[in-house]
Homo-oligomer: A and B are copies of this chain.
């Protein structure tokens, strides 16, 4: 029997897309590691009835735990603690000691930034944040909002509700306390292990894989296989209970055999592989970017410890910058244009030379929406990875919006780095 949880992400700013939700996916992954399965994440605006409807819905799916994020601030649109307390049959009252601790946090915050704070005005908001459902466990605030663990009132049934704040750093900062709380442990007491394995292919059509999976359907009972295609990478994620391990081993063998020429990972992501290759081989890298404007450098440096292999990069939008900072010859720019294989090569070589790196990556292209011509339409991108043993060039014609072309260019550059450093399916 699988233990299930549901997630409610509150906030009109999330529902309307002004802020993208990072809590739902983060919570789902934490729960999976605990052996808890998530069936639904419901995003709901700051409205009483809509929030209640979401709680009713998840309770109806039989979950043992509901986790909410957001709606714990001092303004009137922050409703979550009140709604959850009421929904669990636990009336709220102010916790005076908590109220004092929140007041101290607010005053410190304002003082640090030199902002106006008017204690009479802020007191009502702070008092609201210190209201706790009867019998709930308080999770100490990381920002100003406390979290809550709210089990159903005595004599009632239904899920326990974990109430967490919206800002991801606050939510993540109180997660360990939330899991350790006795009421949470009780709600999740029946959980068992839930395994997950991933295989990644580069250069296989989804319809081709579908045929393979159909052919072997009978051998794969007990596996929940989901496939996802993005930017040319076909990701196959399988979840299963421990007793289905032999079926998974069979699937792994089938994929390894039938897709030997496109399988590039049995776990690590593209970014893991590239970072690992630099670290293991003691190589350094520098970038020279035009249309991607620093996105490749930002992606490479996202990883902790990347300063050991990333020396830096240049974003050279202007031609003068390409010449002066990366030594792209004016004659090459004049003869071939800034978007050309010749300039991609000169950028990669320039980055190598200027930063003294083992590997240089050059990207030049037309991300749009303007700047395209009949010869070089929007989406034309040239990539070059240059190293001590020569260079690899790719000429791409990418579909999509400005931001899609930029992101795809960076992903293709990462694959070209992977193939150059590690072999495997050609990028």
Contact = CB atoms under 8 A, between A and B. Distances in A.
Given A15-B41, A214-B76, A325-B354, A312 B317 contact: yes
Given A41-B43, A312-B316, A210 B57 contact: no
Nearest to A356: B320
A403 interface: yes
Contacts of A73: 206, 210, 227, 229
B42 A50 contact: no
A281 interface: no
Given A11-B228, A42-B40, A210 B74 contact: yes
B293 A297 contact: yes
Given A18-B237, A237-B12, A315 B318 contact: no
A73 B207 CA distance: 8
Contact of A45 (B19, B168, B226): B226
Contact of A317 (B16, B214, B310): B310
A245 interface: no
A297 B214 CA distance: 47
DSSP class of A's interface residues: helix, strand, loop or mixed? mixed
Contacts of A317: 301, 306-307, 310-312
Contact of A228 (B18, B43, B321, B402): B18
Contacts of A206: 73-75, 125
A325 to B, nearest CB: 6
Given A43-B43, A315-B312, A356-B320, A294 B304 contact: no
Interface stretch (A21-29, A82-90, A184-192, A328-336): A21-29
Nearest to A408: B169
B122 A205 contact: yes
Interface residues of A, number: 125
B312 A325 contact: yes
Contacts of A370: 304-305
A208 interface: yes
Nearest to A355: B321
Contact of A293 (B61, B217, B302): B302
A140 B320 CA distance: 44
A124 interface: yes
A400 interface: yes
Contacts of A32: 16
20 contacts: A16-B237, A18-B237, A39-B45, A40-B42, A53-B60, A73-B229, A110-B205, A115-B204, A116-B204, A124-B210, A144-B207, A286-B321, A293-B302, A294-B294, A304-B370, A307-B317, A311-B320, A312-B314, A312-B316, A325-B355
Given A293-B297, A301-B315, 10 more contacts: A20-B21, A43-B43, A46-B226, A73-B227, A118-B211, A124-B214, A292-B298, A302-B402, A304-B368, A325-B354
